[in-house]
Chain A
Amino acid sequence: EVQLVDSGGGLVQPGGSLRLSCAASGFTFSTYWMTWVRQAPGKGLEWVANINQDGSNRHYVDSVQGRFTISRDNGRNSLFLQMSSLRAEDTAVYYCARDHTYSDSGVYYDAFDIWGQGTMVTVS
């Protein structure tokens, strides 16, 4: 079964750090971009960061740039999000997602086709 399992969330004080993990199974993890998306309580979805297959290319939303680091370990089929200098506004459920590339008439598109169950981060 293709699956992503998020873990590592919890309660942390402002200014603190936390490391989220996402364990992948059922597919060849090393061949996919991977993404983190978050959702504050009662709010919409916010894309946070993504990383390419070998970890050499990463992108971040401005609000976490310089505070969060996305990384991966293809040998352990795992994705990580190291979060530091945490703020109250980082409180959210964090989801990892597989970034699938689709091809249509020679044009390539991305979409998040597999999601983890989410892990809650509370900064207070």
Chain B
Amino acid sequence: AIQMTQSPSSLSASVGDRVTITCRASQGIRNELAWYRQKPGKAPKLLIYAASNLQSGVPSRFSGSGSGTDFTLTISSLQPEDFATYFCLQDYNYPRTFGQGTKVEI
């Protein structure tokens, strides 16, 4: 199975900060990667698909980039609702695999 490794595992930031989270795949996955945000006690929410495509209704402060093995999720100006955990997911092959998550704390 493809291993997805996120970094950092956690970070502290303030409202208005620019935040970058990285995800590395153990083998090339083209651009078949999605990003999700999960708030405590809630289901995940899709932010980005195909590495860089913004899901409908998601604010433009979120952006994604990368291809092959290295990917990034950037939040240009952190908002209070963005304090949450972020996960990447590869949909290149089976089994689908998630990164271990990055917790963004105040």
Contacts and interface: CB of A to CB of B under 8 A. Distances in A.
Interface of A: 35, 37, 44-47, 50, 59-62, 95, 102, 104, 107, 109-113, 115-118
Interface of B: 1, 31-32, 34, 36, 38, 43-46, 49-50, 53, 55, 87, 89, 91, 94-101
8 contacts: A45-B36, A45-B44, A50-B96, A59-B95, A61-B95, A104-B53, A109-B32, A113-B46
Nearest to B85: A44
Contact of A111 (B91, B94, B95): B91
A20 to B, nearest CB: 15
A102 B49 contact: yes
A104 B50 contact: yes
B10 to A, nearest CB: 13
A109 B49 contact: yes
A59 B93 CA distance: 11
Contacts of B94: 59
B100 A44 contact: yes
A59 B1 CA distance: 13
Please list the 7 inter-chain residue pairs (A to B) with the smallest Cβ-Cβ separation, ordered nearest first. A115-B43, A111-B49, A47-B96, A109-B50, A111-B34, A110-B91, A45-B98
A46 B98 contact: yes
Contact of A62 (B32, B45, B95, B98): B95
Given A44-B87, A45-B101, A47-B97, A113 B43 contact: no
Contacts of A61: 95
Nearest to B30: A107
B87 A45 contact: yes
A95 B31 CA distance: 25
A75 B89 CA distance: 31
Contacts of A62: 1, 95
A109 B33 CA distance: 8
Contacts of A110: 32, 49, 91
Nearest to B90: A47
B97 A112 contact: no
B89 to A, nearest CB: 7
A51 to B, nearest CB: 12
